Structure 1
Amino acid sequence: MNTTPRNCSARSAPHFRGDPGKNSSRIAKAGLFLLLLFGGALAFAGTAQAHASVVESSPSDGTRLKAAPAEVSITFDEPVTLGSLGYLRVTDQTGRRVDTGAAFHPGNDGSKIANKLKPGLGDGTYTESFRIISADSHPVAGVVRFVVGNGVLTATSVSSGTTNGVTSAVFDVVRWVSYGGFALLGGVWLLLTVWPQGRDDRRAVRIVWTGWAMATAGAVAELLLQGPYAAGTGLSKVADWSLLDGTLHTDYGQFHCGRLLILGALGVLLGSALQPVRRRAWFEDAAWPLLIGVAITYSATGHAETTNPRWLSLTADVLHLCAMSAWVGGLVLVVGALLPRREPDELRTALPVFSRVAFTAVVTLAVTGTYAAWRGIGSLRAILGTDYGRLVSLKVLLFLGLIAVADLSRRTVQRRLVRMPLAYANTDAAGTEVAAAEDSALDPVEHERMRRGVLVEVVLAALVLAATAVLVDQPRGREALAAQDRAAVSGSAPLGDGRSVTVTVEPGVHGPVTAAVALSPGTKATGVTATALQPAKKIGPIPIKLTANGTDLYGSDSVNLPAAGTWVFSLVVSTGTFDAITVDVKIRLN
């Protein structure tokens, strides 16, 4: 057995020295540029914060008024962002705009948006279409309808989609790049603590700078894409300055400028710290608060920002991101640089520490991830009943697979690099100590097995990050279920001779609703009357006033159906002076 100790730095320095330092110098200059550029953007852009759902409107949805109001308004549960990305527009039944200009916050009340109407508006249906930006950066859109005079409350033709599909898909990819960059960047803790020899390894330094570049490019791309994403437009508007300016005046833009500032400072620090074969400098400890600061900018522009208690949600999310970055970044450095060097001294020093850190990170991820899942999904029905719940379930399965593979690697490290050297702890013979070091190193089979296992961990971690990037774009379980429950519901019944009638109730939840009755073509009805009752709770019959809106369509004003459950809509369809058809249509309201 060769008893000559192998020193990593002495052997590998001639091969790698020079290139890492040159790259680090370039990135440090780029970091200084980011500090100057986005420091200015952060200084000159104003602040705005937002996350909201509608709590009331004036006029209320479905209301019939004797005369048109001078102003319409919508109130949210928290302040909202308008700027150049949001709006409140009012149109008549022909689609002609009847508001006088841009929406505003009346009385500087950030939780309310309003718009003034043109004078002299006649009878008819008017639709208020709004779009605002929430605190988690997602656009929220909707409509409110009201009727003036003897007009008919018509169904709205406004699309329910709030984002452009291509823009949203590209945004998912950009978020994955951004998260992946932060994950790689977090692995720098190995180079700054237990594996300083890695600073002299081109592969290790390249991994860290790749993470820095991905995180930086991702942040810039997110800033550019947020405007078209929030405005519901295509990628052709990426270079639209007005949209970018609107983004910079939101919390989302502010935090992204802050992220780029922090990344710039981190680039300057690492450009000096990651020089080949150098002693540890005092300023290297500043890397930890800077990395935590980057994590905070992710959490402050996501779901955690809009969940109470806010301090707990943000703390848990930051811990989750930091644990992910320390684990995944460390994994990539281990499989991409540490293991290929095959240096027993380095393996024996770095792998046991990484194993302990990884275990701590897994526990942190499990605890914070469980809290986030419970917070976001909200109910058992949302697990498989919403896209958010299904994505969380997929993420959990991938995470469990990741833990299983990681446990195999951890056992190998514990068996070969931690426990075995203890057998030689009491000897003073130099030769015996060297033998212990050699025996405790990984043999070629174990080395290859561990390398493949860690590579599988990296792939699974990349898939988990992809699921996370898509999750950020999804409404959470409670929100998704609420939207699904409020979707319009319909029921049909035959009238005989191939004819039928369909009743549509909107929203699909109990309380104030509107009803629309559609007769199949050729029914030739002279009139329709309707009542609603719920036999199970002995409610009703409640009369529903219907107004003709064309040959085969009838609409109602707002009517209060006070309980959830199955409602029976009893219709009388008059087909002549003395002829009528009576039919019941059952519809379930949430």
Structure 2
Amino acid sequence: MDDERQRGGHLSRRAPGAVLLLLALLGLWLGAGVATAPPAAAHAELVSTDPGEGARLEEPPTQVTLTFTEGVSLGAGHTRVLDASGERVDTGSATVEGDRVVVPLRGDLPDDGYLVTYRVVSADSHPVSGAFSFVVGDGELVPTDAAAGAGDTDPVVGAALPAARWLGFAGLSLAIGVPVLLLAAWPAGWASARLRRMVTGGLAAVAAGAALTFLLQGPYAAGSGLGSVADPALLAATADSANGVAHLLRIVLVAALAVVLHAVWRRGNPSVVDVVAGSVLAAALVGTVAAVGHPVAGPLPALAVTAAAVHVAAMVVWLGGLAGLLGGVLREEAPADDLARALPPFSRLAAGSVTALVVTGVVQSVREVGSPAALVTTTYGWVLLAKLALVLLLLAAAGVSRVWVQQHLGVRRSRPAPRRRVTAHAFAAAEEPEPDPAVASAAGARAEVQAAAAAAERPALRRSVLVELAVGLVVLALSAVLVGTPPARAEVAQPVDVTLPVQTAAGEDGSVQVSVDPAAAGPNTLHVYLLDAQGQFTQPVDIRVTLTEPAQEIGPIDVALEPAGPGHYVGDGMAVPGAGTWTLAVTVRLDEFTAGTASTTFPVR
């Protein structure tokens, strides 16, 4: 017993050091990864438009083109072109070509101001909306504030979606985590009617969460209210999307898993076929959660989806196991022997889940945040920091429980018994060796001591596990909010690097490459490269660059340029006065008779 207490003391001293080391590694990984992460787009942003924002055209265009940082879909969204009186002048047949949305216009548009409003769905299932305007002939520019609020998400829909996701996450923890606990740590729990009800409720919650998310995705993408959840057009648009298919598949998988688990509960224990079938269905369910939203957008989607799947699986195994402990062996009427037998294997399972959560959480954070500035200046970053703080609290609570289990219920491996030569006669007789009475007595005494310790500390353990579970449910809620929040990368300033056609009276004549870094309020560095139709640098007779913010009626502001080589001009220290959607226009005179323009818009936050 003295040796047992001494060993427990060593464990109690080592555990806090291990936790601190783990947290230090997490900080180093996060700092190094965020600081060195390459640029990435995990949420579509408008790059350029044709016509450009605020452009004045001599002839009416035949179409409007919007180019985004990544592929988008119209889905339940819309793209509209309105004249100054608010009447639509597009043909209503917009098409998506990769990262471009092309909106055909009616022919023979009169001289007027035109307003383009759009709401498209990015690859991560989030809507992207905005507006810009242009002028044909002598018309007046239509202010973009005429479309203010048209692209906003309905507040009720915006609040209901995270709630539906949280319901699905919590249900997944019960539907998968509790059976994993029973398989790995407490086989006797298959006879528990309470745990059966918990798993059944979890399956129902997963199905309900998936159905609600499917119904709400249409109004979310379209910017409409709850009254449109049954709109056939919105339902069809959602069903045609990868996001919608994933949620419908999730409902089918839940039904299949319910059939497998029903057979297990009826028999009282799982067969090998049940375990294999249930594992496949559980993995597929986790996959439907990981393969939607942020992981499928941006670079290295396969790695991101894999990391997300491991992250989700680790969380549901941990939280579901905690819920199973509270509903099973931690109840007063449960046998103390079951508690002593179940806690050590679950403690090891939880430790593995924690390691997986930390590693995959770092991978996801580096990918979605991108820079230390984004971590503290965006909604996504602040929610992530709140989640990280709660996870650290969760790790601390779990550490306390794990140290107790190691001290009181850890079992040293006994020295293996010497091999005995097995003769053919003995093998045929199938004789079992006689158990050593001394070993059996010692094992029984140890089991009694462990059961007594578990029974004495059951109330304290129950409180500790309850704290872990409560904090874990809040972490799930923050995760549900993060899923619906544009990544931090998309909310901070992103350098502009685009190639634009030079529009002349006779059509396109060459191109201009524009680079603005960092595309933020204050000083910026501008590079302009002018190329001819053959892609060679060309020297213009004259060049002018201006900045305009139409919504705030700022500009045009002339940008001072310095030549830096053939066809290359630099605006070092170009000042952007403040946040907004800015238009950078380039006007070039190619020769005495030919002039052209090119423009692009970029957000400044």
Question: How many Å apart are 1:186 and its aligned residue?
Answer: 2.0
The answer on 1:302 being equivalent to 2:293 is yes
For normalisation by structure 2, the TM-score amounts to 0.71
1:566 alignment counterpart: 575
How far apart in 1 are the matches of 2:82 and 2:242?
Answer: 31
Check whether the contact 2:168–2:210 (CA below 8 A) recurs between aligned residues: yes
How far apart in 2 are the matches of 1:459 and 1:191?
Answer: 21
Question: How many Å apart are 1:102 and its aligned residue?
Answer: 3.2
Check whether the contact 1:421–1:440 (CA below 8 A) recurs between aligned residues: no
Alignment partner for residue 126 of structure 1, among 102, 114, 126? 114
The answer on 1:285 being equivalent to 2:276 is yes
Check whether the contact 1:88–1:102 (CA below 8 A) recurs between aligned residues: no
How far apart in 2 are the matches of 1:134 and 1:274?
Answer: 43
How far apart in 2 are the matches of 1:216 and 1:118?
Answer: 45
Secondary structure at 2:392 match in 1: helix
The answer on 1:378 being equivalent to 2:382 is no
Question: How many Å apart are 1:170 and its aligned residue?
Answer: 0.8
Post-superposition CA distance 1:282-316 (Å, at most 9, x none): 33222112111111111111111113111111110
The answer on 1:356 being equivalent to 2:353 is no
1:6-17 matches, cutoff 5 A: none
For normalisation by structure 1, the TM-score amounts to 0.73
Check whether the contact 2:383–2:478 (CA below 8 A) recurs between aligned residues: yes
Paired positions, count: 469
The answer on 1:459 being equivalent to 2:470 is yes
Alignment partner for residue 182 of structure 2, among 186, 191, 200? 191
Alignment partner for residue 330 of structure 1, among 321, 337, 343? 321
How far apart in 2 are the matches of 1:466 and 1:531?
Answer: 46
Check whether the contact 1:398–1:460 (CA below 8 A) recurs between aligned residues: yes
1:514 alignment counterpart: 548
Post-superposition CA distance 1:562-586 (Å, at most 9, x none): 55653589xxxxxxxxxxxxxxxxx
The answer on 1:437 being equivalent to 2:447 is yes
Check whether the contact 1:262–1:294 (CA below 8 A) recurs between aligned residues: yes
Identify the range of structure 1 (283-292 vs 379-388) with the bigger mean alpha-carbon deviation: 283-292
How far apart in 2 are the matches of 1:337 and 1:261?
Answer: 29
Secondary structure at 1:163 match in 2: coil
Query: Aligned in 2, Cα 1:361/1:566: closer, same or farther, shift over 3 Å?
Result: same
1:318 alignment counterpart: 309
Query: Aligned in 2, Cα 1:133/1:168: closer, same or farther, shift over 3 Å?
Result: same
1:192-207 matches, cutoff 5 A: 192-207=183-198
Matched letter for residue 473 of structure 1:
G
Check whether the contact 2:549–2:555 (CA below 8 A) recurs between aligned residues: no
Check whether the contact 1:532–1:567 (CA below 8 A) recurs between aligned residues: no
The answer on 1:243 being equivalent to 2:234 is yes
1:151 alignment counterpart: 139
Check whether the contact 1:273–1:281 (CA below 8 A) recurs between aligned residues: no
1:15-414 matches, cutoff 5 A: 52-83=44-75, 85-105=76-96, 109-157=97-145, 158-159=147-148, 161-187=151-177, 188-275=179-266, 277-278=268-269, 280-340=271-331, 341-414=333-406
How far apart in 2 are the matches of 1:248 and 1:417?
Answer: 51
Question: How many Å apart are 1:265 and its aligned residue?
Answer: 1.3
Question: How many Å apart are 1:197 and its aligned residue?
Answer: 1.2
Secondary structure at 1:82 match in 2: strand
Post-superposition CA distance 1:67-117 (Å, at most 9, x none): 11122222334432224x122210122322222223234xxx343322222
How far apart in 1 are the matches of 2:183 and 2:358?
Answer: 26
Matched letter for residue 164 of structure 1:
D
Check whether the contact 1:171–1:225 (CA below 8 A) recurs between aligned residues: yes
Matched letter for residue 179 of structure 1:
F
Identity among equivalent positions (%) equals 36
1:10 alignment counterpart: none
Which sections of structure 2, spanning at least 5 residues, go unmatched? 1-41, 418-435, 497-518, 527-545, 564-568, 579-602
2:32 alignment counterpart: none
2:438 alignment counterpart: 428
Query: Aligned in 2, Cα 1:272/1:91: closer, same or farther, shift over 3 Å?
Result: same
Check whether the contact 1:307–1:313 (CA below 8 A) recurs between aligned residues: no
1:576 alignment counterpart: none
Check whether the contact 2:521–2:576 (CA below 8 A) recurs between aligned residues: no
Secondary structure at 1:398 match in 2: helix
Matched letter for residue 566 of structure 1:
A
How far apart in 1 are the matches of 2:228 and 2:214?
Answer: 13
Matched letter for residue 112 of structure 1:
R
Check whether the contact 1:421–1:436 (CA below 8 A) recurs between aligned residues: no
How far apart in 2 are the matches of 1:230 and 1:207?
Answer: 34
Check whether the contact 1:63–1:146 (CA below 8 A) recurs between aligned residues: yes
Query: Aligned in 2, Cα 1:279/1:379: closer, same or farther, shift over 3 Å?
Result: closer
Secondary structure at 1:308 match in 2: coil
Which sections of structure 1, spanning at least 5 residues, go unmatched? 1-49, 486-505, 520-527, 540-559, 570-587
2:25 alignment counterpart: none
2:585 alignment counterpart: none
Matched letter for residue 81 of structure 1:
S
Secondary structure at 2:72 match in 1: coil
Identify the range of structure 1 (472-481 vs 560-569) with the bigger mean alpha-carbon deviation: 560-569
Post-superposition CA distance 1:522-574 (Å, at most 9, x none): xxxxxx9975456xx989xxxxxxxxxxxxxxxxxxxx9955653589xxxxx
Check whether the contact 1:124–1:151 (CA below 8 A) recurs between aligned residues: yes
Post-superposition CA distance 1:449-505 (Å, at most 9, x none): 1110000000000000000000111111110114999xxxxxxxxxxxxxxxxxxxx
Query: Aligned in 2, Cα 1:293/1:278: closer, same or farther, shift over 3 Å?
Result: closer
Matched letter for residue 248 of structure 1:
A
Secondary structure at 2:321 match in 1: helix
2:485 alignment counterpart: 474
Check whether the contact 2:290–2:305 (CA below 8 A) recurs between aligned residues: yes
How far apart in 1 are the matches of 2:176 and 2:552?
Answer: 60
